[in-house]
C-alpha cells in the first residue's frame, strides 16, 4: 500500500479514534466521578489524556510504512 494512502487512512482513523475516545472518557467521568474530589478528576483526566497516545503511536508507525533499505 502506498505511503500516501496509508497516511490518509491513518489520519481518518486517528480523528475518529480521538473523537470516540474523548466522548467515552468524558461520559464515564460524568457518570462515575461526579461526586469525586477535584484531585480525582485531575488524575483521571491526566491519565486518560495521555492514554490515547499509545494506539496513536502504533498507527503513526504503520502510516510511515517501510522506508527503502529497511
pLDDT per residue of the chain (70 residues) written in tens, 0 to 9: 888 899 999 999 999 999 999 999 999 999 999 899 999 999 999 999 999 999 999 999 989 886 655 5
pLDDT score of 41 = 94
Residue 37 in domain: yes
Q: How many domains does the chain have?
A: 1
Cα 65 to Cα 13, 55, 69: the distances in Å are: 16, 16, 12
27 in a domain, yes or no? Answer: yes
Domain that holds residue 59: 3-63
Would residue 46 count as lying in a domain?
Answer: yes
Q: Does residue 53 belong to any structural domain of this protein?
A: yes
Assigned domain for 42 exists: yes
What pLDDT, on a 0 to 100 scale, did the predictor assign at position 69? 57
Residue 23 in domain: yes
For 7-68, the three-class secondary structure string (H helix, E strand, C coil) is HHHHHHHHHHHHHHHHHHHHHHHHHHCCCCCHHHHHHHHHHHHHHCHHHHHHHHHHHHCCCC
Residue 36 resides in a domain: yes
Amino acid at each position: 500500500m502506498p505511503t500516501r494512502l496509508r497516511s490518509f487512512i491513518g489520519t481518518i482513523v486517528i480523528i475518529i479514534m480521538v473523537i470516540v475516545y474523548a466522548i467515552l472518557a468524558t461520559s464515564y467521568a460524568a457518570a462515575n466521578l461526579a461526586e469525586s474530589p477535584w484531585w480525582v478528576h485531575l488524575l483521571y483526566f491526566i491519565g486518560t489524556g495521555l492514554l490515547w497516545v499509545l494506539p496513536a503511536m502504533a498507527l503513526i508507525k504503520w502510516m510511515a510504512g517501510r522506508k527503502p533499505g529497511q
